[in-house]
Structure 1
């Protein structure tokens, strides 16, 4: 698993460049996600939100947006530029129910309608992936969906992450994989642009 706290400390955050370069393609994916929903949209949880590259966009679209990340410095930075309708929390996505218990502003179990995971799940080993999936399931409202961007597994997996479709489905038991499609590689650079990134959409069965 990448050492994200260390990467933030040394300014090695390539995923932030992707957020800017791929903004139109990410917007298109979110448009599809929201196309069959009624308003108000409900609660969205941005998993591994970092310094808040995507959480404000969820709020702008009408979600009650909550971003969570295990790196306190990243959350501090996100809070400094947080806009209206956004809450940022320090928490381990592999054990959110425990970490967020009694935390002001944290979503209650069974209350989250939409989960966004851009590059978080892919960085974990099998045990941690299972922990994230259990956390998501515990917090999910009936009919909730997960939208996940993840690299495919490569020989550089130990450094940049990556998961297969089978690993996604294995972790999210009780969920239905509705859609899988190739992700835009603009802004990723080498070697990430060689990892065949995919968008996965799952729905709670």
Structure 2
């Protein structure tokens, strides 16, 4: 899709970015240690990873598409790190542990087995009390066009995590059929054990 210049998921960037900023502010305020390490799963061309770095997180973006990672590396800020890695095999990339994970549109495009694999990988890389912020379209009759997941599917992939909140995501600027998918922000926390 990158080679063809067809990247409809990037159109949602401005709207998602504004909401992400508010969510990141909340995370920084509620963490006793402040910011830490953050992983942007399925970062594409680095649309959201720089925002993590600007807000003081040690930001790492991963994507399976080498061309997307090269494009991300060419952007600012230089403080962000980008790695070619599969969201369904995160542990093999030897990335270390993270305090925050963001997934904006990656999880929803995976099959059930792949979703479970992403969940296992995120869990393996999660520091104590890590948080996951996920933006995903909801299931709809347009699922074949724009994908989407239910709350139950998110919870099934992250059985060791506590679902803290589910918030409606803004649909401003989304064209049809994406504006009919009821996008949600999911906030999950890995409990201290």
Question: Under a length normalisation based on structure 2, what TM-score does the superposition of the two structures give?
Answer: 0.94
Partner residue of 1:162?
A: 148
Partner residue of 2:52?
A: 58
The number of residues matched between the two structures is 191
Partner residue of 2:116?
A: 130
Does 2:37 correspond to 1:43?
yes
Partner residue of 2:188?
A: 202
Partners of 2:34 and 2:182 in 1: CA distance: 34
Deviations 1:140-192 (A, max 9, x none): 00100100000111122233110000111011011000000100112221100
Structure 1 gap ranges (5+): 1-6, 102-106
CA contact (8 A) 1:114 1:144 kept: yes
Question: Under a length normalisation based on structure 1, what TM-score does the superposition of the two structures give?
Answer: 0.89
Does 2:157 correspond to 1:171?
yes
Give the 5 Å matches for 1:73-84: 73-84=67-78
In structure 2, relative to structure 1, the CA distance for the partners of 1:26 and 1:47 (3 Å cut) is same
Partner residue of 2:64?
A: 70
Deviations 1:77-136 (A, max 9, x none): 0011142320000000101112x13xxxxx21xx20000000010111100000100000
Q: Which runs of 4+ in 1 moved over 4 A?
A: none
Partners of 1:97 and 1:193 in 2: CA distance: 34
Q: 2:127 aligns with which of 141, 148, 156?
A: 141
Deviations 1:49-102 (A, max 9, x none): 00000000100000000000001100010011142320000000101112x13x
RMSD: 1.3
Q: 1:185 aligns with which of 167, 171, 181?
A: 171
Q: Which moved more, 1:171-180 or 1:183-192?
A: 183-192
